[in-house]
Amino acid sequence: MNIELAKELTDLAAHDLSVREKLAAGGKLAGGYHPEMEEVHRANAKRLREVIDEIGFPTLSKVGKEGSDAAWLIIQHSIGEPDFMMACLRMMEENTEDINPVHKAYLYDRIMVFQSKPQKYGTQLIPEGIYPVENKERLNEEREKVGLPAISADELNKIPQSEDIAQIDNRDPAYNEWRCKVGWIV
């Protein structure tokens, strides 16, 4: 295990969370992607790309649990870099036995939501609850496969239909404009 890289990754993730906390405390995270937060995310993604070039994907065996958790947070927050997030998902799929499957589930769902597609595991939320999913009837089955807790029948019934995605996503024109700008949608 590469202890130095693991520490560096955890430091990068901690910095991300520190900046997020500071901006949230000042009420600056609502209303779009704050430039300071975006700068942190881009810098962290740049460094993680370098790490991947050096050692390959930062798996559990390469950087330990904390390092792997930190790498996932960096990937999950690299929302302005769709190609990087999708490449990381592919790398996670190639290393299934050496990653936390919950990380892959969250990343898969996040990518789907940014692309206005139904998610598989129900990890991504909207103000009224869970963003639409591929298959409500099999949702808890899919969640169980990766170690996520079941969702109650009440919550399952509240999940909007996939056909509602356009209406849900069109509530925020600035969000759609940003997704077009960075390449999530065309």
pLDDT of residue 37: 94
Q: Got the DSSP string for the chain?
A: --HHHHHHHHHHHHHHHHHHHHHHHTT-SSSS--HHHHHHHHHHHHHHHHHHHHHSS--HHHHHHHHHHHHHHHHHT-TT-HHHHHHHHHHHHHTGGGS-HHHHHHHHHHHHHHTT--BSS---EETTEEPPBS-GGGHHHHHHHHTPPPPPHHHHHHSPPGGGHHHHHTT-HHHHHHHHHHTS--
pLDDT of residue 95: 95
pLDDT of residue 29: 81
CA 114 – CA 118 distance, rounded (Å): 10
Mean pLDDT in consecutive groups of 10 residues from the start of the chain, 186 residues: 96 97 89 89 98 97 98 97 98 96 98 98 94 97 98 95 94 91 92
AA letter at 61 = S
pTM of the model: 0.94
pLDDT of residue 186: 84
CA 97 – CA 61 distance, rounded (Å): 10
- Domain chopping of the chain, boundaries: 1-80, 100-186
pLDDT of residue 28: 87
